[in-house]
Homo-oligomer: A and B are copies of this chain.
Amino acid sequence: MTAYTATVTVRLKHGVLDPEAETTQRALERLGFDLEDLRAADRFEVDLDAEDEAAARERAGEMAERLLANPTIHDYEVAVAEREA
């Protein structure tokens, strides 16, 4: 078994309204910042042990499907890296 960290990034699908991100963007503009757009996403860093990188990636993908993301409104992506055990 090897120690991995899987990073799962969960973001709203294109076209789904994100009032929190809009509020954040307007607050930054009110502070004087000039920006074109702002998107918010959730990031989960999951430490897990797996046989190999493919197994770690598959397990993290299942976690996203079953709990971390809502497939109706979210897209997600998984990145896997070895970690110091």
Query: Which residues of A pack against B, CB within 8 Å?
Result: 3, 9, 21, 24, 27-28, 31, 33-49, 59, 62-63, 66-68
Contact = CB atoms under 8 A, between A and B. Distances in A.
Given A33-B63, A63-B33, A43 B45 contact: no
A38 B45 contact: yes
A39 B8 CA distance: 10
Given A28-B67, A67-B24, A47 B40 contact: no
A33 B45 contact: no
Given A42-B42, A44-B24, A45-B41, A67 B31 contact: yes
17 contacts: A9-B43, A27-B67, A33-B62, A33-B63, A35-B46, A35-B48, A36-B47, A38-B47, A39-B44, A40-B42, A40-B45, A41-B42, A41-B43, A41-B44, A41-B45, A42-B43, A43-B43
